[in-house]
């Protein structure tokens, strides 16, 4: 794995790990995500793709770690490495970054998207009940932000714990137990401010009007046990013109961790140009 950097639109240098050979696959991790979270995926895809996994702006920019700048970072990575219509995989905050990219730059430079377990709007309201946990009101978001400013590790770990749904006794559950302390140590080592500011930037966004603008093939991957729920998956699927939907029954917010073999199978099939649709008509 090569460790390189690239200059973004404002001169900030961001780290990117590069592994494999073949058509480009850009991985945009979620909030608090790191390249190491995606190594089990990328090392298994390295025989088919050159995988680029960045470390997002909040790791190095305490002042402006906003979703619009992260979308511009994605554009800078694609242009800086001369990638021709890559597959862009975005999980959670990474999916929001992809929608912001489409809002700002369109789809002309993108070959395909894989968007993993994210609602187009996190905060609920009078016209939207499908946000985080189906009841994430503006007041709840402000309370969570206040909690993060007061005790970032406790707030962040609580959210992470609610995002995981590994079945007891499963391989995913054993891995979750093994890495729980490592995750805690990693979160406690972070500078809280840029991650909170990033949350403040993306958690209020509304990308519902962007969904029809995604005019490239898109694989949507959702966990049936996620805190977003199946109705979010159905909503996004029905409004994106060239979408395929895959729902993982045993997975929570991170299907690539909770069901790694199934996730890899979906992604390989999609990247090869084969059709993928929901497991049953009822899920659509």
pLDDT of residue 164: 62
* Domain parsing of the chain, residue ranges: 2-283
User: What is the per-residue pLDDT across 210-259, written as a single tens digit (0 to 9) for each?
Assistant: 999 999 999 999 999 999 989 999 999 999 999 999 999 989 999 998 89
pLDDT of residue 284: 46
Residues 65/43, Cβ–Cβ less than 8 Å: no
Q: Which residues contact 111 (CB under 8 A, 6 or more apart)?
A: 23, 84, 85, 86, 87, 216
**pLDDT tens for the chain, residues 1 to 284:** 899 999 999 999 999 999 999 999 999 999 999 999 999 999 999 999 999 999 999 999 999 999 999 999 999 999 999 999 999 999 999 999 999 999 999 999 999 999 999 999 999 999 999 999 888 999 999 999 999 999 999 999 999 887 766 556 655 556 556 566 677 788 999 999 999 999 999 999 999 999 999 999 999 999 999 999 899 999 999 999 999 999 999 899 999 988 999 999 999 989 887 554 444 434 44
Q: 18 - beta bridge partners?
A: 2, 52
User: What is the per-residue pLDDT across 49-72, written as a single tens digit (0 to 9) for each?
Assistant: 999 999 999 999 999 999 999 999
pLDDT of residue 161: 81
The fold adopted by the segment(s) 2-283 is Rossmann fold (3.40.50)
Cα–Cα distance for residue pair 203/139, rounded to 1 Å: 12
């Amino acid at each position: 794995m090569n460790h390189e950097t690239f200059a973004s639109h404002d001169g900030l240098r961001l780290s990117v790990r590069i592994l494999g050979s073949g058509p480009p696959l850009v991985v945009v991790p979620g909030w608090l995500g790191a390249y190491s979270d995606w190594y089990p995926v990328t090392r298994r895809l390295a025989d088919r793709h050159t995988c680029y996994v960045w470390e997002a702006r909040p790791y190095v920019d305490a002042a402006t770690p906003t979703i619009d700048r992260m979308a511009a970072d994605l554009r800078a990575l694609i242009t800086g490495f001369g990638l021709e219509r890559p597959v862009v995989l975005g999980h959670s905050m990474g999916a929001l970054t992809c929608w912001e990219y489409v809002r700002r730059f369109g789809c002309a430079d993108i070959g395909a998207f894989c968007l993993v377990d994210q609602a187009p709007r996190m905060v609920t309201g009078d016209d939207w009940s499908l946000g985080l946990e189906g009841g994430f009101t503006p007041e709840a978001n402000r309370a969570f932000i206040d909690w993060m400013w007061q005790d970032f590790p406790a707030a962040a770990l609580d959210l992470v714990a609610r995002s995981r749904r590994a079945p007891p006794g499963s391989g995913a559950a054993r891995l979750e137990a093994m890495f729980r302390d490592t995750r805690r140590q990693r979160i406690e080592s972070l500078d809280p401010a840029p991650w909170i500011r990033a949350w403040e930037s993306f958690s209020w966004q509304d990308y519902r009007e962007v969904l029809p603008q995604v005019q490239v093939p898109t694989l949507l991957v959702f966990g049936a046990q996620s805190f977003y729920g199946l109705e979010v998956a159905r909503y996004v699927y029905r409004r994106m013109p060239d979408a395929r939907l895959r729902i993982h029954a045993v997975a929570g917010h991170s299907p690539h961790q909770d069901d790694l073999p199934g996730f890899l199978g979906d992604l390989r099939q999609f990247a090869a140009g084969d059709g993928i649709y929901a497991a049953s008509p009822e899920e659509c």
